[in-house]
Amino acid sequence: MSWSVLARKDVSDAGRSRTIWLLAILLSVLSVGYAFGHSYLGASEFPAFLSGLSDVVATVLPILALLLGYKSIADDRTSGSLFLTLSFPHSRRDLLAGTFVGRTVVLLAPTLVALVAAGVVGAVRYGTEGVAMYPWFLFVTALYAVAFLGVAVGLSMSTTADRRITFAAFGVYMLAVNLWGSVHSLVMLVLHRFDFTVLRNMPDWALLFRLIGPSESYGRLVRAGFDVEQASRYVTDTAPFYVDWWMAVVVLLAWTLVPLALGYGRFRNADL
């Protein structure tokens, strides 16, 4: 399997990067540090701790994923080393698969280690109620991380223009993590002639529109595993079936695969 050779090479190359190690250490410090500091910020219960930890993860992990992937292929195209790589019996599809799998390993290995350590500290400090579902939290966090990595690798395949990739990655982060709720609210107000009651009683389709944001889907999946306040708007008696937890999985998979497909479409016939 040619792609597996490229994946192993990508893991090896990334493992020698000081930047990657610094990012991994930063995530570990933030996760474990939050586990110790949560008692000053919220209720001393494991579900409350996990709710706060997921807020930290939802903000920091996309940055790490985007930084890890947004130049993963573009830099090799610019330096000319990609031409040498593809002179061996590797196709461009192999390159895509190998790069994505390799970067996924590099991203998830330190992430899961850091979150497991934080979970252990949290269980010791805040009790074990809900600990049995902690693997679910690790799973949905991995889905969330891979979604942003898919966006980053897709951007890296789409162009060699460094500034364009950088601004696009920054724009994706701001929209998907920080501004999605505000954009959703603004669209709803414009469509309903600035009747603010629509924000308290949204139509069913508006719930799905809001859930399309990856951070919203992540919160929905965390809420599915733990009785916390996150994404509670999707679990009311009147919420439609298509904003259940499975739709959040579909959304995160789409955020992963669609950018990869679009980026590969541009990369497949591009000059190296």
What is the model's pTM?
Answer: 0.92
- Mean pLDDT for the stretch of residues 204-230: 89
Residue type, 265: G
Nearest 5°: CA angle at 104, between 110 and 159?
130
What was the pLDDT predicted at 1?
Answer: 53
Query: Which 8-state DSSP code applies to residue 260?
Result: H
Rounded Cα distance between 64 and 213, Å, is 18
Least Cα distance to 66 among 160, 213, 228, 177 occurs for: 177
d(CA 121, CA 116): 9
Phi, psi of 111, rounded to the nearest 5 degrees: -65, -50
Encoding tokens for residue 2?
């040619």
| pLDDT tens digits for range 173-182 | 999 999 999 9
What per-residue confidence (pLDDT) applies to 226?
85
Q: Tens digit of pLDDT for each residue in 11-33? A: 877 767 777 778 778 888 999 99
Residue 244, phi then psi, degrees to nearest 5: -70, 175
With cut-offs at 50, 70 and 90, classify the pLDDT of residue 272: low
Reduced to 3 states, what is the DSSP secondary structure of residue 179?
helix
Return d(Cα 56, Cα 215) in angstroms, integer: 12
